[in-house]
Structure 1
């Protein structure tokens, strides 16, 4: 695989609702088959906040309002020979659920509301548990049920 020319900017949407978190199973590398947050690339001229909401709708059909940035994730993956395969900077965006029932679309194979207590039982992308904990710790009006 050819090394990426530049790091890519992406955004992921963290949506908490009634003690559950919205997760998707990724279809494509680097996390194919793993559960994680809906998200994708930030388009030119688009904020990461807007990209998170757009990607959420594209991948799941769920509508949410981006509230604030929670953190950033550096995703840097190398192959066995040490060559760079993927380099993403992901803006993690907390979003307030507005409407919709999750349906897998675009580049995901499954989507759904997962009970926070059940997330650890899923094959997940790195940092999913940490991001959920961060979302709850910085959002005093909500908490796991």
Structure 2
């Protein structure tokens, strides 16, 4: 059973707009939640982790790369409702602007179908998470 489905409270999550050579690291979700959606790598903060520790860990787990979080690049709230209007998912996502330190991106197969460096304009026409372009623009400006 997915403890994040039909939550009694929001879950705190992190993501990273990892920038290298004017490109951002984009993943396509492959798990049951968000399948086929292009977004930033990230996930839920674990008890005892700082936001910075969580984003470093999540990006490493999902893509295999090492990053340096530099600044906050905004936040997003993701609230999803089922057909009856009941809240089925609720995440508050703190987004970081980050630099690539090392490693070649490889998708973690249980959660990610694809991982690639893309220029922001290459996202046009793709199904992305809400506000993705704005977060990327803010991250690029801060780096």
**Shorter-chain TM-score above 0.5:** yes
Tell me which residue corresponds to 1:75.
Answer: 78
**Count of matched residue positions in the alignment of Structure 1 and Structure 2:** 139
Tell me which residue corresponds to 2:121.
Answer: 117
**Runs (4+) of structure 1 moved beyond 2 Å?**
136-139
Tell me which residue corresponds to 2:138.
Answer: 134
Counterpart Cα distance in 2 of 1:12 and 1:70? 10
- What residue ranges of structure 1 are gaps of 5+ in the alignment? 140-145
How far the C-alpha of 1:90 sits from its partner, in A, is 0.5
Report the secondary structure of 1:103's partner residue: coil
How far the C-alpha of 1:107 sits from its partner, in A, is 1.2
Tell me which residue corresponds to 1:142.
Answer: none
1:53 aligns with 2:56: yes
How far the C-alpha of 1:78 sits from its partner, in A, is 0.8
Q: Is the 8 A contact 1:21 1:114 kept in 2?
A: yes
- What residue ranges of structure 2 are gaps of 5+ in the alignment? none
Q: Is the 8 A contact 2:71 2:142 kept in 1?
A: no
How far the C-alpha of 1:29 sits from its partner, in A, is 4.6
Q: Is the 8 A contact 2:18 2:25 kept in 1?
A: yes
Q: How does 1:1-145 map to 2 (within 5 A)?
A: 3-105=6-108, 106-139=110-143
After superposing the two structures, state which structure 1 stretch, 38-47 or 111-120, moved more: 111-120
How far the C-alpha of 1:137 sits from its partner, in A, is 2.8
Counterpart Cα distance in 2 of 1:122 and 1:112? 13
